[in-house]
A and B are shown apart, each in its own frame.
Chain A
């Protein structure tokens, strides 16, 4: 912005009494990134980082999908040799770990990173530098896993990596360490985004936006963020103890020296079950947002949905043992987890009823995003039903670790998270790129995905009942699984085609799609107030919010807040419950230190697979970069 750069910079210029055009230009200069590659590497803008997260997560989705296609190719016929057992084990492990840790959680956090500040009406996410750091860590973790996979060091012990198979004696070489350390990378990055989300929602909301005025998508991301903070440490304990067992010979999981193989499963599933909800709850937030806009009315039972989100988030921590019913638990303990698993049907049911009521009492307009929501109802509710089945101990003892469970969780995760995600991409794409995605291709995309998914995964329920266990690289001809597996593989390739169409639609629409304007769907929440794509500062004026759907309640005359600096990065801090303005605070400037700190952390993490001393010198290295990060700069003090 050469003109703005030439403008003399007076101290503490406020936004009162400035022409709209000049205000926009000055704010964009203040909040914009530096030019060139350095600007690209140093930016702390939540939109830039959110976009990177999105692109990277979609790349991971495509890579993981390719592995899934190989899996289905191998299983299409009995006793095939498309890949051998060694490669197959790496493929299914990398597919699972990639989809859970490098696609599903990050893609939801990408939407959170991009949309939450816009939806609560602020100019950047809290702790922008942490956001940049988290992205670099995520990228490093993803590259680490995939480079390892290509080099034949891909983890081959399952995405759950049970000991002793992943332990020092049976987990040969460094493959299990790659799994464990990839977890560390992604956990660091997702914990960082979780903290940012919580602080942004609690303290950076636009004035007037009370807790119940917060959009349901933001509520969903808030609950998810808390779940990440409570769940992820458990898996870090598990994976770090595993690395310690493997590297320096500790005995956490060694029964003959007082450790326990079951302990690992408890730690893993204490994270692993909430993980499913960490992926699914953002999906419900997307569903709420899409239903609200396309049924042309606020979601029925706004508060009830919030309560059910929070209840789901809490109950999710009391279910983990239903992954372990076959390990020989005492009856009382196991039954407790049956009851808890059944109970979670109640808040989930409440949300479904509220959405259906919204659609039935509104005036639904069917566009591609809503199509995907209908797909979500069909698939996710079916997955929820089989979820009730696996909560029952006797049924679970039959179907546990069979293709029935494979079908169940793909119904829950693809139905509950990926279909809403595709809908959300169609829905928010115009906001992110300024262009609409093609509706025609969108409808094709939906039907291919819907038919392909059901053809691929429904037969797996029956295969599970017919006795086909999970994680087998092949099966024999004399057990009668041939036909259904072939059918499932055929469906899988329809599903692959639908994703190819989806990516094509995105890439094409980003260039030639029709221009969207700020609010193409005439939606009610704050992100549609900003231009599409939003300028670096998001909003020219910070709005004052009086309603959960402010753009609908005050269609033309949204009140604004004034008196905010235009030549320093200044944001409003508001109170937790009522969002009363509390103080102004400086939002961080661009910085190269997040990247440097991430590189240092990456070196320390990878080296500590090979030598315990890396934890020592690596910490020192990270410490040095943190000194640079926190080096005091002369800046205006925060004002009351």
Chain B
């Protein structure tokens, strides 16, 4: 209901293409829901106070005098003065009371936020300039896997992410699921996500982190437990050897060109750890940490000239012939 209202409000603001998947108003997580109702309470209470002040100002404006007048006698009237002191005093007490109530409300809402801090994290999230490395933990090395810029989580199960950074400070933020938490070099932070309904939620780095801070987003895919298990199983597997000839050629290009020195594709000799793990890059929805939706065209454009789309990105433009470019794009797209 409230969500509808919010979206209506937004539409009224002459918005085009309101996809609403990175919005604190469109909450889909337990934490985000608590915060949103607190936000609304604060907005209403504080809005009323603001309105009261504006009414007082309106009264002043109504009682204005057109011409300059001599000094007012109010400064000397003792009895009036005492009455006004009482009014101001009670307004002050009312302010203090409001502040106390709001503080208490805020305190109650923050309790669950701090309660789960000690739990162990099942996913490590590592911030890089300007992409997200995601490492899923497992009981055995075979169950661990690495991916980038896209996390899947099961609906209804709390998932704790440990937040780390190897370069500068980043901040992890999925407005639809929870508030933000910083990734700070030398500090261990974590955040808990609990998705209440399936969906794709967008998040973005919220702490200024350099040239491409604007293009450092990611997706959270919340899905039913079995779909999540399937996804995990698929991610754990090494990349399949391509059967088609052009894709086989693409695989060859990938390992013989500069690609392999920075990117890993498990199951091939490519083992670089500088850039994102591409083992299942074809299964992700976006390329370049949210720059463009993934398809043949966008991926080819990205490989040919990443700086045209994301100036300053650490991926260099790689000089490939048209055949090579097509082959390597087809190869990567096929890595589901």
Contacts and interface: CB of A to CB of B under 8 A. Distances in A.
Direct contact of A and B (CB under 8 A): yes
A256 B185 CA distance: 9
B49 A363 contact: no
B298 interface: no
A140 interface: no
Contacts of A444: none
Nearest 7 Cβ contacts at the A-B interface: A397-B179, A255-B186, A467-B22, A392-B106, A472-B214, A385-B46, A328-B189
A483 interface: yes
A354 interface: yes
B185 A365 contact: no
Given A256-B186, A261-B186, A466-B24, 19 more contacts: A85-B214, A86-B311, A164-B167, A326-B179, A356-B57, A357-B84, A364-B61, A364-B64, A365-B68, A365-B69, A385-B50, A389-B43, A398-B24, A398-B39, A467-B23, A467-B24, A470-B208, A487-B14, A522-B68
Contacts of B129: 170
B249 interface: no
Given A162-B208, A385-B46, A353 B88 contact: yes
B42 A389 contact: yes
A393 B22 contact: no
Contacts of B106: 338, 391-395
B53 A467 contact: no
B54 to A, nearest CB: 7
B171 interface: yes
B167 A170 contact: yes
A471 B65 contact: no
A67 interface: no
B167 A398 contact: no
B21 A479 contact: yes
Contact of A401 (B22, B60, B206): B206
Contact of A165 (B87, B88, B113, B208): B208
Interface stretch (B95-103, B234-242, B270-278, B316-324): B95-103
A361 B74 contact: yes
A63 interface: no
A475 interface: yes
A233 interface: no
Q: Which of B43, B47, B290 has the most chain A CB within a 10 Å cutoff?
A: B43
B187 to A, nearest CB: 6
Contacts of A474: 214
A13 interface: no
A247 interface: no
Contact of A469 (B18, B204, B312): B204
Contacts of A398: 24, 32, 35, 39, 175, 179-180
Given A360-B59, A385-B47, A296 B70 contact: yes
Interface string A240-272: 000000000000000110001110000000000
Given A85-B211, A378-B57, A394-B110, A477 B185 contact: no
Contacts of A466: 10, 20, 22-25
B38 interface: yes
27 contacts: A84-B311, A85-B211, A162-B208, A165-B209, A170-B168, A300-B81, A327-B187, A328-B187, A342-B99, A342-B102, A353-B91, A356-B60, A363-B72, A374-B61, A389-B46, A397-B178, A398-B39, A466-B20, A466-B24, A469-B205, A476-B217, A476-B291, A477-B17, A479-B22, A479-B202, A480-B20, A487-B13
A377 B60 CA distance: 12
Contacts of A62: none
Given A261-B187, A400-B180, A357 B15 contact: no
B130 to A, nearest CB: 10
A363 B47 CA distance: 28
Contacts of A470: 206, 208
A345 B39 contact: no
A165 B67 contact: no
Q: Which of A366, A374, A398 has the most chain B CB within a 10 Å cutoff?
A: A398
B65 A365 contact: yes
Nearest to B25: A465
Interface string B178-209: 11111011111110000000000010111111
Interface in A359-403: 359-366, 374, 377-378, 381-382, 385-386, 388-389, 391-402
Contacts of B10: 462, 466, 480
A363 B42 contact: no
Contacts of B290: 476
Contact of A331 (B75, B103, B110): B110
A395 B68 CA distance: 47
A480 B67 contact: no
A298 B81 CA distance: 12
Q: Which of B88, B114, B212 has the most chain A CB within a 10 Å cutoff?
A: B88
B133 to A, nearest CB: 18
A483 B15 contact: yes
Q: Which of A381, A395, A475 has the most chain B CB within a 10 Å cutoff?
A: A395
Given A327-B184, A377-B54, A385-B46, A479 B88 contact: no
A202 interface: no
Given A395-B39, A400-B180, A479-B22, A357 B87 contact: yes
A386 to B, nearest CB: 8
Contacts of A363: 65, 69, 72
B168 A164 contact: yes
Contact of B19 (A365, A385, A386, A480): A480
